[in-house]
Structure 1
Amino acid sequence: MRRAVMLFSRHVALYIVMLLSIVPALAQTLLRGEVRDASSKRVIVGASVQCIQHPEGTSTNANGIFLIKLDSTVQELVFSAVGYQSKRYTVTPTDSALLVYLEKQDQVIETVDIVKKGRYKNNNPATELIDLVIQHKRKNRLVQKDSLYFQQYDKIKFGMVDPKPGFKTRLGDMSFFFKDVDTTSLQGHELLTLYLQEDISDNYIRQQPARKKKIIRNQSKTEFDPRYVNNPNISSYLNYLFQPVDIYDESVFFLNKLFLSPIADNAKLYYKYFIVDSLRTGKDIFVRLRFEPRNSNDLLFHGQLLVSLDGRYAVKNAELKVDKRTNISWVNDFKMSLSYFKNSEGIMLQDSSNIFVVFGRGKVDALFGERSSVQYRYDTHRTTADDVFSGAPVEVRLSAEEELGDVRPVPLSTYEQRIYSNVDSLNDLKSFKSLLAVGYLLAQGYFSVGKFELGPLEYLYHMNEMEGQRLRFGGRTTAALSEKVYMEGYLAYGFRDDRFKYYLKTAVALNGKSVATFPAHYMEASVQRDIFEPGKAIGYLKGDSFFRSFVSNKPTKWLDTEAYRLGHVYEFGNHFSVSSSFTHQRRNAIGDLRFALTADSTQSLSSINTNDVQVTLRWAPFEKFYYRNLQRRTIIESYPVFSLQYNKGISGIFEGQYNYDALRFSVSKRFFMNQLGFGDLKATAGRIWGTLPYPLLEMPNIQETKDRHTISYDMTNSMEFVSDKFVKLSYDHELNGFILNKLPLIKKLRFREIFGARMFYGQLSANNDPMLSDKVVYFDKHKEGYTITHALQKSPYLEGYVGLDNILSIFRVQYYYRFNYRYHPNISNERFKLSLNFDF
């Protein structure tokens, strides 16, 4: 009787547990486990886990861990791996975590051919097999499925390699952080993780029309004091460097470079292939292929592929490494492993990947980065509603019903579990906050005082011909004051002209969210009174930094400007945005600048007053960016950016003098060309209607800028060319050493070729040409008497450059050449430029 009661109680308890565990997939259990080698106890990567009664399946990731969801009909699992005996396991209702050991299979090597090493032959069994892999890529590619869903777990780590011993003893109360290190992940080294991020996401893909959606529903990451560290930018940058990888892509994007895949369409031109052995596991037969680059300096991998011989010729495992001679800087070691499993339809689906990089210089290892990903719960037949794809392609929608620890498919190591608490403890230390404050001042030029930060430091002092010595005090608000309201401003004083200048801007969010985060919706207003070089736009930073005090060609022509602006910005989730503004400006010529009237050259135009209404439509599909407050910088990928801008000048109010219309269309795009590097193309076309003084027309921008979407010119003078119908083009190309990597001796220097060109073509209407119209102003003249502004003739203005990059890993040298209009006075037709350029 007692035994019957106990048995009944167990059944009742089990029933209650099942009721409490009900999820949308009724009567499903989440089973985690680890597969190891029975003799060595090492984890087995890519081991298959198959259900007997159900088509569900998965495989172990780079840490030997698997995660599978089972329903009540599943009673038995089969574990298998290449080179190991298959093992069956009977599932019980109480199973939640398994540790499975697989025995090695005797004589798994079918054939091994040992031959005398000789000259490599392009036609051999290995290349014939690669041909079959390439021919079957389309059938095996996951993205060929019209509708697809899967879950993904990502873990990104970044930190120091072998922290200096002094950090553990000489940093006072911060020393504890450097004593807790990982000694198991990299043999013979200590790793100190500074940043850890974990994401669990739902991923949806549709082919017709092509749509992608990633919804992050659980996230955890280390964060430092936001006053000094822009945590979202760290996350964006690391996710950009360590992007998800698929061996079926033509190229693998890694560290801002494209490495040709060993199964790319033209891979045989760049790789050599060798059959290592053939392996059998159960009914499946695989061939292990070794590959290596024909030229070790090119952006290529070496490693191994495991290819199935079931008629699909799919890749089950891939191990990729980078040769030490490869033309890549600041990387001492690189390893990438990809694992795939075959679903019930016979398609090889990626279930895990791991990327591990050691950064350093020479024999010194300094930093490391790692990305581990696990993909699971594939559904290749799910029909996804259209509204799922609305909004941004990547959204964070954190679930309040689940904790990361409850759904994490791969458990953290004991060391990783302490990272979060260690960083929190470090953030609480006053000494660490002081260290961050000093670093922020040196790196960004701002000093935080809580709700405000003062700076930038480099704009504190400036010297020019008009103001003499100039002092400026500025600052901006931080999120500690408000995330929905932002303000910035400065007050400046010139000792020569004895005048104060000022600027103030504010932005207020209209969507109840942070004014800075995407997608944003806010109103902004600004007022500014300052002097500007002609062609410079109003704004907080207008190019008058400390370092601009030492330019050789110092400007002597200025505009005393008073500006008022009211604007509105609305960003949609699909990266389409609409911005509008109304700007009133008053400009007075000062210094050597004169606006002599064409109707009477003895008279000058005292001021140029405009009222400008601007509407800009911008579309940047899949754009990623770094941001600080309202300023954003695009992370350059292959997606184009389009912009259409319309301006309307209104006279008759606020003393506005001019009616005009202007239309500008711009596009920018990066073209990745595999082994030929990449090129950046920018184009702008526009037209201005109206009779206007030439400062309101189009002039080439001579301000050097790293903005992806702005075209700047290096060999023109300020105000040299003007037009009201214009086309601007620029192209910059980086070959990444494609040519120099083939040259003996020179290839050891790891130089990289760069070249580019700029074009400006335009026409000046008769009503705006001072030689034909009596309603405008004459082009201004230099103090020596020659005219400094010109209308273009029949040919466009052209300039170009060639150069070498990666000199000593930090320098870039360029030779610039001006192809035409070389007769203009006081210009430079050619010059060399040496600059710092840090790149991998």
Structure 2
Amino acid sequence: MRRLVAPLGRHVAFYIIMILSIVPTLAQISLQGVVLDAVSVRPIVGASIKCMEHPEGTSTNNQGTFYIKLDSSVVEIEISALGYQNQKVRLAGADRPLIVYLEKQEQFIETVDIVKKGRYKNRNPATELIDLVIQHKSQNRLTRKDSLYFQQYDKIKFGMVDPKPGFKNRLGDMSFFFKDVDTTSLRGHELLTLFLQEDVSDNYVRQRPTQQKKIIRSQSKTEFDSRYVNNPNISSYLNYLFQPVDIYDESIFFLNKLFLSPIADNAKMYYKYFVTDTLRTEKELFVRLRFAPRNSNDLLFHGQLVVSLDGRYAVKNVELNIDKKTNISWVNEFKISLSYFKNSEGVMLQDTSNVFVLFGRGKVDALFGQRSSVQHKYDTHSAIGDSIFSGAPIEMRLTKDQKIGDMRPVPLNPNEQRTYANIDSLNDLRSFKSLLAVGYLLAQGYFPVGKIELGPLEYLYHMNEMEGQRLRLGGRTTSGLSEKMYLEGYLAYGFRDERFKYYLRTAVALNGKSIATFPAHYLEASSQYDIFEPGKAIGYLKGDSFFRSFVSNKPTKWLETNAYKLGHVYEFGNHFSVETSFTHQRRHAIGDLRFSLTADSTQSLSQINTNDMQVVLRWAPFEKFYYRNLQRRTIVESYPVFNLQYNRGIKGFLGAGYDYDALRFSISKRFFMNQVGFGDVTMSAGKIWGVLPYPLLEMPNINEVKDRHTISYDMTNSMEFVADQFLKVAYDHELNGYILNKIPLIKRLRFREIFGVRMFYGKLSEDNNPYTSDKVVYFDKHQKGYTMTHVLQKQPYWEGYVGLDNILSILRVQYYYRFNYREHPNISNERFKLSLNFDF
């Protein structure tokens, strides 16, 4: 029996109050409502609301409510939910709250699989059905559509779980913030939202050629004081962690890990499947499957699937959970819920998704994160013009008169509505600003002073053989001073050589936008006077931190350097960029470094002066960034990054003494390999033309901070190898416990295997080889008399490591081994390294 109105009991009153509190817009018919079970009066989650005359549609959220804007001509909608009778409702007028009660559908169980503690059979009705689901994936997934448009609403939340009672009454004027907690979203817990972001976007997909475009039309988010908290970085990181999820993908990405989908092509190798029941309605037949990992320690899910039996074998609903034994640190609970609806062509389109995670340690839940998405207003027929895909793949095109509240398909709950105001009030408190300043100093090493910040703290003091004790005061501007101009620099003093050193860099935007915002366009200039180990590049951070004071085999050979650089950076929306620069450097050997001439060993080269013109072409498709102040860092994903660099030396001008040409190419890519973890591959090759002293040639980088294009070597000495044509290869792999997870007892420790290898191969032409040429300088010698620099023989240099990660969730131990050229003096052929490494 259909009922649209029923006596309002205490279970229903809450929903009426919530519905009436939403302010509707007047431009269209705004339909709000709640869908309830007719018997239990409980909300029905994931119920579909579909217009009969137009393609608009939505679904109910986890509270059973929905909100949709309809064309004024719509007079009838249909509400449906799995296991319930469909109901058609005629609309009496605009903006009228609606309460719909659905009756249970007459259904019977076709198959019931009672799970016993026995041997699992690899061939059973459930696996036969999964075979059909896998065979029909290409037919059901959205990427089959040549043109696709949909509107998407995203809500991302991050906050604390069960704030300590003392926060509510012992933090003075900040206590009010910790009293406004959500007690309804997670049973038995209090949630305090610290970050909330909402986006409404237009999304376009085209297959030939493959292109994607996301245009954010409206956005609202909480923001803390930008001097202490990098708000864009929070947004970027949470969007990276909680990426959109589609069950039809082979793997689901979360926390820098890939979890194999239960309907992946090879899923049956890793999952067990069981038929729970089969539901028959008037028009459709569905089967509910339960699945579980064969090994609960692997990166796999357990949960259930609801699959249609209409010949398409499409997924209607899915619930994904991770086992508590899964080899993930700092995560106590992880749940994904996805819902799909059938369009007029019979294709299942995703309408809602919800990702929820609890971060903590053991039984203590500390933080939570959640991403809720609604996709609606699908259009699978209209052609998409080329102009839509111009510019960056993700663009912000906010319209001032379009507020996020007018575009939400699902309203905020009362706690969420107050979050924005609570954060604003908290930012106004002086006590809170002081707390942020201390936290920023400890976490980032910088101390804000007005519109600049001093640091980093670890570079304040350093000690080396040349300068003795070194003090350095550095700083940089913040966006509070200007987003279109950036300044950074330092002043340092060495007490042994009694000399001041300095560095100053500025960047000025040429496109009227922030120099850090993609796509950027800016002009930069820098000047530096300091001492460097040979082979080190100029820059703000050059390796003279406090911790580098205690390295063994301290360098005694230095280059006193004056450097001046002028550069221009232009980034295009397709993540292709062009960087050009001119650098003039004057290097003078100090310490015990000598450049003895091969033409006359009694004479030394006093200076190495160069003019360098550089052009770098870079392509990084779909690149995303972390931001810190007016700087950014690439988020490592599966997309490759290509670099092509050309350098030209100009002799004569400003006293430079060398003509040369150099070409370098590099590529890096991360390969996600499902259950066997992921591997990072970096390759670099190049050639240098010209007769040059060896410090201007290619040398392996020693213990550098690794980015996606820098290959660091741990077992070579500074200046040990040199080449003018070279090939570098690096491979790093993290197995995520794939082997150790299968060993009894050891798997409880949740260790993870890591390994890697480095190769350097190069040749030195006769003109640049001091043993065959009288036009260059000799390789320098150590105080003990042996030659420090070597030319590679026929075989390349190799080193590698193996190790264990996730020891006590915070430690990593590695064993490094040098495979060849072990006869060189003053080297280490093997060593252990213990380091901190926080990873999920």
**TM (normalized to structure 2)?**
0.95
In structure 1, the partner of 2:19 is none
Check whether the contact 1:277–1:288 (CA below 8 A) recurs between aligned residues.
yes
Q: Distance in 1 between matches of 2:502 and 2:465?
A: 19
> Please, which moves more after superposition, 731-740 or 473-482?
473-482
Distance in 2, Cα, partners of 1:244 & 1:96: 33
Aligned residues: 816
Q: CA deviation at 1:50?
A: 3.1
Q: Which residue of structure 1 aligns with residue 473 of structure 2?
A: 473
Listed one character per residue, the Cα deviations across residues 378-413 of structure 1 (whole Å, up to 9, x for unaligned) are: 000121111110111111111122111111111000
- Aligned 1:443-462 pairs, distance under 5 A: 443-462=443-462
CA–CA separation in structure 1 for the residues paired with 2:352 and 2:820 = 56
The answer (yes or no) to whether the contact 2:252–2:258 under 8 Å persists in 1 is yes
Aligned residue number for residue 662 of structure 1: 662
2:402 corresponds to which residue? 402
Deviation at residue 99 of structure 1 after TM alignment: 2.5
Distance 2:86 2:620 in 1: 50
- 8 Å contact from structure 2 (residues 55, 378) kept in 1: no
Q: Aligned partner of 1:255: which letter?
A: L
Give the residue type in structure 1 aligned to 2:383.
T
Q: Is the 8 A contact 2:580 2:614 kept in 1?
A: yes
Shift of 1:712: 0.5
1:321 corresponds to = 321
Tell me how far 1:55 sits from its aligned partner: 5.2
The runs of 5 or more residues in structure 2 that have no matched partner are: 1-24
Shifted more, 227-236 versus 544-553: the winner is 544-553
Partner of 2:155: 155
Distance 1:534 1:406 in 2: 61
Aligned twin of 1:571 = 571
Equivalent AA in structure 2 for residue 757 of structure 1: V
| Structure 1 position 549, deviation (Å) | 1.0
CA contact (8 A) 2:150 2:377 kept: yes
> Matches of residues 587-598 of structure 1 in structure 2 within 5 Å?
587-598=587-598
Shift in Å at residue 323 of structure 1?
0.4
The farther-off stretch of 628-637 and 577-586 is 628-637
The answer to which of 631-640 and 651-660 deviates more is 631-640
Assess, with a 3 A threshold, how the Cα gap between structure 1 residues 406 and 590 changes in structure 2: closer, same or farther. same
CA distance in 2, matches of 1:662, 1:598: 23
Which residue is 1:82 aligned to? 82
Look up the equivalent residue of 2:138 and give its one-letter code: R
CA drift at 1:119: 1.2
Residues 476, 489 of structure 1: 8 Å contact kept? yes
Cα deviation digits, residues 356-394 of structure 1 (max 9, x gap): 100000111110000000000000012111111011111
Structure 1 residues 42 and 704, CA gap change in structure 2 (3 angstroms): farther
The alpha carbon displacement at 1:49 in A equals: 2.3
Q: Per the alignment, in what secondary structure is the counterpart of residue 324 of structure 2? A: coil
Provide the residue aligned with 2:368 in structure 1: 368
Provide the residue aligned with 1:519 in structure 2.
Answer: 519
**1:216-240 C-alpha deviation (Å, 9 max, x unpaired):** 0100000000011110000000000
Match of 1:531 in 2: 531
What secondary structure is seen at the aligned counterpart in 1 of 2:777? coil
- Deviation per CA, 1:26-48: give whole Å up to 9, x if none: xx634333322233333222222
Q: Give the Cα–Cα distance (whole angstroms) in 1 for the partners of residues 629 and 725 of structure 2.
A: 35
Cα deviations by residue, 1:53-72 (Å, 9 ceiling, x for unpaired): 44554433444344445445
Q: Deviations over 1:325-380 (max 9, x none)?
A: 00111011111100000000000000000011000001111100000000000000
User: 1:665–1:684: 8 Å Cα contact kept in structure 2?
Assistant: yes
Q: 1:701-725 CA distances to partner (integer Å, 9 max, x unpaired)? A: 0133131221000110000000000
Q: Summarize the Cα distance change of 1:542–1:207 in structure 2 as closer, same or farther, 3 Å threshold.
A: same
Letter in 2 for 1:559: L
Question: For 1:555, what is the secondary structure of its paired residue?
Answer: coil
Against the structure 1 CA distance between its residues 211 and 600, is the aligned structure 2 distance closer, same or farther, given a 3 Å change threshold? same
Equivalent residues in 2 for 1:658-807 (5 A)? 658-807=658-807
Question: 1:86 offset after TM fit, Å?
Answer: 2.1
Superposed displacement of residue 478, structure 1:
1.3
Q: How does 1:484-499 map to 2 (within 5 A)?
A: 484-499=484-499
Deviation at 1:552, TM superposition (A): 1.6
Instruction: Quickly say closer, same or farther: Cα 1:626–1:732, change in 2 above 3 A.
Output: same
C-alpha change, 1:416 and 1:58, in structure 2 (3 Å) is: closer
What amino acid is the match of 2:356? F
Whether the 8 Å CA contact 2:162–2:189 is kept in 1: the answer is yes
1:365 maps to a residue whose letter is D
Specify the code of the residue in structure 2 equivalent to 1:160: M
Paired amino acid for 1:409: P
Take 1:297 and 1:732, find their aligned partners in 2: how far apart are those partners?
A: 22
Q: Which region of structure 1 is more displaced relative to structure 2, 109-118 or 255-264?
A: 109-118
AA of the residue aligned to 2:720:
E
C-alpha deviation, 1:762, in angstroms: 0.5
Gaps (5+ residues) in structure 1? 1-19, 23-27
Identity of matched residues, %: 80
Cα separation, partners in 2 of 1:54 and 1:237, compared to 1, 3 Å: closer
Q: Following the alignment from structure 1 to structure 2, what is the Cα–Cα distance between the partners of residues 391 and 273?
A: 45
Shift of 1:449: 1.3
User: Match of 1:654, SS?
Assistant: helix
CA contact (8 A) 2:479 2:630 kept: no
Inter-partner Cα distance in structure 1 for 2:212 and 2:514: 26
Q: Distance in 2 between matches of 1:45 and 1:564?
A: 63
Contact 1:814–1:834, Cα closer than 8 Å, also in 2 = yes
SS at match of 2:399: coil
Give the secondary structure class of the aligned counterpart of 2:611: strand
In the TM superposition, what whole-angstrom CA distance separates every residue of 1:678-731 from its partner, at most 9, and x where no partner exists? 100000000000000000000000133131221000110000000000000000
Aligned to 1:628: 628
One-letter identity of the residue aligned with 1:394: I
Residue 280 of structure 1: aligned partner: 280
Give the counterpart letter for 2:544 in structure 1.
D
- Against the structure 1 CA distance between its residues 226 and 116, is the aligned structure 2 distance closer, same or farther, given a 3 Å change threshold? closer
What is the identity, as a one-letter code, of the residue corresponding to 1:562?
N
**Deviation digits for residues 104-148 of structure 1 (CA, Å, limit 9, x no counterpart):** 234443443547542110010000000000000000001110000
Q: For 1:116-265, what aligned pairs fall within 5 Å after superposition? A: 116-265=116-265
- Preserved CA contact (<8 Å) 1:58 1:341: no
Kindly provide the CA deviation profile for residues 299-344 of structure 1, in whole angstroms up to 9, marking residues without a partner as x: 0000000000000000000000000000111011111100000000
Residues 53, 540 of structure 1: CA spacing in aligned structure 2 closer, same or farther, 3 A cutoff? closer
Cα distance in 2 for partners of 1:245, 1:364 equals: 27
Tell me what 1:342 maps to: 342
- Matched ranges for 1:31-46 at <5 A: 31-46=31-46
The match for 1:812 is 812
SS at match of 1:339: strand
1:538-559 superposed Cα distances (whole Å, 9 cap, x missing partner)? 1111111111111122111100
Q: Write the distance in 1 (CA, Å) between the matches of 2:176 and 2:67.
A: 35
Q: Which amino acid aligns with 1:597?
A: L
SS in structure 2 at match of 1:730: strand
Q: Which residue pairs with 2:463 in the alignment?
A: 463
Cα contact 2:58–2:374 (8 A) shared by 1 = no
Q: CA RMSD in A?
A: 1.4
Deviating more after overlay: 439-448 vs 622-631: 622-631
Report if aligned partners of 1:660, 1:690 keep a CA contact under 8 Å in 2: yes
Q: Shift of residue 95 of structure 1?
A: 4.1
**CA displacement, residues 720-754 of structure 1 (integer Å, 9 cap, x when unaligned):** 00000000000001111111111111111111111
Tell me the SS of whatever aligns to 1:524: strand
Contact 1:54 1:73 (C-alpha < 8 Å) held by counterparts? no
Residue 422 of structure 1: aligned partner = 422
CA distance in 2, matches of 1:67, 1:341: 17
Aligned to 1:266: 266
Amino acid corresponding to residue 450 of structure 2 in structure 1: G
**Aligned partners of 1:59 and 1:340 also within 8 Å:** no
**Would you say the 8 A contact 2:307–2:316 is kept in 1?**
yes
Q: Distance in 1 between matches of 2:181 and 2:116?
A: 47
Deviation at 1:209, TM superposition (A): 0.2
Shift of 1:623: 0.2
